[in-house]
Amino acid sequence: MSRFALVTAEPDFDERVRLAAAGLPGTLQAFRADFLPSTIDDMFGQLVGEPLEVLVLGPDLPSSDVLNFAAAVDVRSPHVSVMYAADASPDLALAAMRSGVRDLVTPNADIDTLRVHLEQAATAASYRLSSASAVQPGAGENTSQGRGRVITVMSPKGGVGKTTIATNIAVGLAKNSPMSVVIVDLDLQFGDVASGLMMKPDRSIVDAVGGPMDSLSLKTYLVPHATKLYALCAPLNPADADRVSAEQVSELISRLASEFQYVVIDTSPGLGEHVLAALDQATDVVWVCGMDLPSIRGLKSGLEILNELDMLPEHRHVVVNMADRKSGITVQDIEATIGVPIDVILSRSKAMPLATNRGVPALQDGIRDATVKGLRKLVERFHPSWEERNRRQVHRRVVFQ
Ligand SMILES: Nc1ncnc2c1ncn2[C@@H]1O[C@H](COP(=O)(O)OP(=O)(O)OP(=O)(O)O)[C@@H](O)[C@H]1O
Ligand SMILES: [Mg+2]
């Protein structure tokens, strides 16, 4: 198969894509047609050469056919980046992203722009392919093959930075794995993932669990975000939280884990039934704790309870957030109290509340400070090969300067 495939009968677009691909490694196979084959096998069977990474669909193809075809590619070869050339209205853009189109480009984009898009799409495709093959049970996957990593961000106490950390993890992961990350707001009463990502969703988790939870139905409740992740938001009305049971949460997360490479879950404080249901499905738990005694003691009890219940996920990441040298508590004090090492320290930063108030996570904004650096380190821990590379020091001693 070719690295790039193109379907269009539009000569000008065809030529620009050919010239753009000519500057990149790998071959391009073009199909001169203003229609798509009825099955993807009809096309994939004709491809020769190296594995397909990017499928470019031209502006002259009927949009409804493009969406159906992209959805089929998404199911059959999810690593392939489908790029669609269209002057897309917001509605079409949304529908395209939902159906599995991974990149939209304007039909009159110049050669350099097209080359950048092709390169990014190819990088994302090869990353998805290598992540999928690198992920082995026990190295980040859940117990069965083909399930994504489920990362539950939690803390016994409120206001310690769970939502800030969950949204940044999701944004950070989506940079390397576009359209392969979903963030779920399980703080059902007072969730603020939507506001942290500046979204105004018209659908929520209540709608998602209220109907059939097959992959196509679920996708219609996910809201795409500019950073190429999806969000499943909390209901607008706190009273609706009662309409979601722990069993539904379990099933929802399990379904999402079979569709997405990463499911990031923000939770409400404490160990309520929804949080426990999320933990039960989790491959990873991110414990967030502040540098104050109530928060540290809460974490200690939380760890003990979950240990007794045998509910600690395989991968543990302890994060001290809003760290402050003037708090009178040291990292060593915290470790001695909770009995496990701290993995990441995020210092108190003026940029964080600003980012929250603007609805633009720090990792989206490109802010540079020590806290953002710490967030990047946290995100790296979820890369499929991280544990392999750090086998000897999964919980490396952190230094807080
Ligand atoms: N490292 C940090 N430095 C400074 N402020 C921070 C930091 N991390 C988070 N914050 C701020 O603290 C406030 C609370 O954060 P956040 O909403 O993420 O906490 P939470 O644990 O999700 O709260 P809740 O339990 O109410 O859901 C936000 O205004 C956020 O911007
Ligand atoms: Mg929160």
Res 35 pLDDT > 90: yes
Asked whether 282 and 313 are in contact (CB, 8 A), the reply is: yes
Res 134 pLDDT > 80: no
* pLDDT at residue 136, as a whole number: 40
- Top mutation candidate among 155, 163, 195, 319 for ligand 1, by most atoms within 8 Å of CB: 163
Average pLDDT over residues 303-313: 89
Query: Ligand 1 in contact with 348 (CB < 6 A)?
Result: yes
- DSSP assignment letter at 369: S
Nearest CA to ligand 1 atom 26: 159
* pLDDT at residue 185, as a whole number: 98
* % of the chain surpassing 70 pLDDT: 92
Listed in sequence order, the residues at least 6 apart from 98 whose beta carbon sits closer than 8 Å to its beta carbon are 219, 220, 222, 224
* pLDDT at residue 153, as a whole number: 98
Query: Ligand 1 in contact with 372 (CB < 6 A)?
Result: no
- How far is the centre of ligand 2, averaged over its atoms, from the C-alpha of 186 (Å)? 9
User: CB neighbours (10 Å) of residue 225?
Assistant: 24
Res 331 pLDDT > 50: yes
Query: Ligand 1 in contact with 322 (CB < 6 A)?
Result: yes
* pLDDT at residue 144, as a whole number: 41
* pLDDT at residue 169, as a whole number: 98
Query: Ligand 1 in contact with 163 (CB < 6 A)?
Result: yes
The amino acid that residue 349 corresponds to is S
Q: Which ligand is nearest to the CA of 167?
A: 1
* pLDDT at residue 50, as a whole number: 78
What is the dihedral sign for C-alpha 351, 356, 362, 364? negative
**Helix ranges (DSSP H) in 37-192:** 40-44, 63-76, 90-99, 111-134, 162-176
The total number of residues shown for the chain amounts to 401
Average pLDDT over residues 61-76: 90
* pLDDT at residue 182, as a whole number: 94
In which residue are the tokens 């992961």 written? Answer: 173
Q: What is the pLDDT of residues 190-219, one digit of tens each?
A: 999 999 999 988 889 999 998 888 776 787
* pLDDT at residue 302, as a whole number: 92
Which atom of ligand 1 is closest in space to residue 158's alpha carbon? 25
Query: Ligand 1 in contact with 137 (CB < 6 A)?
Result: no
Please provide the average confidence, as pLDDT, over all residues in the chain.
88
Tell me which H or E stretch contains 344: strand 344-347
CA dist 101 and 383 (Å) reads 24
**Predicted confidence band of residue 124 (pLDDT cuts 50, 70, 90):** confident
Domains of the chain, earliest start first: 4-134 (3.40.50.2300), 149-393 (3.40.50.300)
Res 391 pLDDT > 70: no
3-state secondary structure of 390: coil
CA dist 250 and 351 (Å) reads 35
Query: Ligand 1 in contact with 360 (CB < 6 A)?
Result: no
Output the six-digit token pair for 1. 């198969």
Output the six-digit token pair for 240. 């609706």
* pLDDT at residue 221, as a whole number: 85
- How far is the centre of ligand 1, averaged over its atoms, from the C-alpha of 288 (Å)? 10
In which residue are the tokens 């190296």 written? Answer: 50
**Predicted confidence band of residue 253 (pLDDT cuts 50, 70, 90):** very high
Least confident span in 24-28, 260-264, 291-295, 372-376: 24-28
- How far is the centre of ligand 1, averaged over its atoms, from the C-alpha of 322 (Å)? 8
Query: Ligand 1 in contact with 157 (CB < 6 A)?
Result: no
Average pLDDT over residues 183-192: 96
Which atom of ligand 1 is closest in space to residue 322's alpha carbon? 1
3-state secondary structure of 137: strand
Average pLDDT over residues 311-315: 87
Q: Which residues pair with 245 in a beta bridge?
A: none
Least confident span in 165-169, 184-188, 322-326: 322-326
Distance of CA 307 to the CA centre of its chain: 28
Distance of CA 5 to the CA centre of its chain: 26
- Top mutation candidate among 187, 352, 358, 373 for ligand 1, by most atoms within 8 Å of CB: 352
* % of the chain surpassing 90 pLDDT: 61
Query: Ligand 1 in contact with 267 (CB < 6 A)?
Result: no
* pLDDT at residue 140, as a whole number: 36
- How far is the centre of ligand 2, averaged over its atoms, from the C-alpha of 106 (Å)? 37
83 phi, psi to nearest 5 deg: -110, 130
Tell me which H or E stretch contains 154: strand 149-154
* pLDDT at residue 142, as a whole number: 38
Asked whether 241 and 190 are in contact (CB, 8 A), the reply is: no
**DSSP per-residue string spanning 192-218:** -HHHHTT---S--HHHHHHS--SHHHH
